[in-house]
Amino acid sequence: MPVVSMQDILADAFGRRYGVGAFNIVNDLTMEAVLAAAQETRSPVIVQVSVKTVRQMGARLIRLMFAEMAGRVSVPATLHLDHCPDRKVIEECVAEGWNSVLFDASKLTYADNLAQTREVVALAHAHGIAVEGELEAITGVEDGIGDRYGGPVVALDLALRFMRETGIDSFAPAIGTAHGLYKGTPKIDFERVSEIVAAEPRPLVLHGGTGLSDAVFHELIARGAVKVNISTQLKITLADGFRSYLAAHPTEYDPLKLLGAVRKDVQAVAANFMRTFGSAGKAA
């Protein structure tokens, strides 16, 4: 079906309280496998791309590839730019007709973040494009010592003010999750999700999804963190897929067989997340 807006996908997920997986793809194989998983499970899906991948492939090629591939499945799909501190890349993706961007100004001061995020929202909304906002850097989990979140957390009233005054469509708060692999059991601040959603009812974004338990996913989604980012697990599945196929088939040289096997692995992992998040069967 034609590409759907991020606003539509998140509104349905937030209203019916299921999670939508936002999967970081790195090439055509991973994009197609994630879309195939969405089709298999009848799930709305967010295809998400890092700035690094955009710099390598180009915003236009990714958008064209996405439009073509999303057109071949019959579930809602939308294209999102992940953590982007670079306004030029955001402008490029907006100009190319992407559906959503995460302006990551978490390294700026509160005032600068607020001012710049407002500008990004004005630009994006003029094109019907959604903006995800972020105040606190989502960093590694603590190694026994240090800050609970690995970085300072903004007071609730300032976070709410940021949401209201910027007009962002979704917000990624620090709640104790981290990018990469967890070394221990993360301490999740479920209450912060509920407090934000109660005061400012709009979709929250769960970063650092890889490694969380099903129970944690269910709890956070129920409280309103309905965009669920998965990056690390897809990278692991991709790399391990190549390793295991090549180890099992040392004399096989047909690249399509190799890529087909890896694609199957990525699709299976993505489909599994979609079932866990409750998006399976939610596509009309």
Residues that bind Zn ion (CB under 5 A): 207
HEC profile of 223-246 = HCEEEEEECHHHHHHHHHHHHHHH
CB of 206 to Zn ion, least distance (A): 9
CA distance 251 to 83: 41
CA distance 90 to 102: 8
- Residue 151 is encoded by which pair of tokens? 């970085």
Q: Which residue is nearest to Zn ion (CB)?
A: 207
- Per-residue burial over 29-64, b if 16 or more Cβ lie within 10 Å, else e, is bbbbbbbbbbbbbebbbbbbbbbebbeeeebeebbe
CB of 34 to Zn ion, least distance (A): 17
In the residue annotation, 189 being an active-site residue is answered as no
Q: 113: how many CB neighbours lie within 10 A of its CB?
A: 22
Q: 7: how many CB neighbours lie within 10 A of its CB?
A: 18
Which of 82, 104, 189, 265 is the catalytic position? Answer: 82
Pairing of strands 77-84, 20-24: unpaired
Q: In the complex with Zn ion, which residue's Cβ is closer, 63 or 207? A: 207
CB of 48 to Zn ion, least distance (A): 9
CB of 99 to Zn ion, least distance (A): 17
Backbone phi, psi, residue 206, to 5°: -100, 110
Helix (H, G, I), strand (E, B) or coil at 219: helix
- Residue 238 is encoded by which pair of tokens? 């991709």
CB of 208 to Zn ion, least distance (A): 6
> Catalytic residue numbers?
82
